[in-house]
Amino acid sequence: ALAVDWVTSNLYWSSVKKPDLHVTTRSGDHTAVLLQPSLTAITSVAVHPPSGWLCYAAVMVGGKNQAEVDCAWMDGRKQAVLWRRCSLPGSLSFSSEGRVVYWADTVEGVI
């Protein structure tokens, strides 16, 4: 999962080997763990710098079929679950105003 803050050029990312949500400067000189999801893998991340929000989709890998969409401030504070009734959320995107978050659920076939 990867998103670019077009204001600061910071990269927000997660990988299978590093499932936490990281923030890295564009040069790669500084990286920090921004937050640790309650589930095991982040499948998508979206940022909206003007509003200061980021959202990410997280899933449980193996075992129980569980997924959710969470949001937080771009500094990692104020983390909250936005939606839990999903199967495999991904492709997160903010509306241009940053008030609405969209995602596709590839199992359910809905947006």
Q: Which residues contact 87 (CB under 8 A, 6 or more apart)?
A: 65, 67, 105, 106, 107, 108
Query: How confident is the model over 18-44, as a mean pLDDT?
Result: 89
Task: Using the predicted structure, report yes or no on whether residue 22 has a pLDDT greater than 80.
Answer: yes
Using alpha carbons, select from 3, 45, 100 the residue that is nearest to residue 11: 3
Q: β-strand 11-13 against 2-4: which pairing, if any? A: antiparallel
Structural domains for the chain: 2-105 (2.120.10.30)
Task: Using the predicted structure, report yes or no on whether residue 16 has a pLDDT greater than 80.
Answer: no
pLDDT of residue 63: 60
Go through 57-70 and write b for each residue having 16 or more CB atoms within 10 A of its CB, e for each that does not: bbbeeeeeeebbbb
Query: How confident is the model over 17-22, as a mean pLDDT?
Result: 86
pLDDT of residue 15: 86
Higher pLDDT, 90 or 60: 90
Q: What is the pLDDT of residues 72-107, one digit of tens each?
A: 999 999 999 998 888 888 899 999 999 999 999 887
pTM higher than 0.85, yes or no?
yes
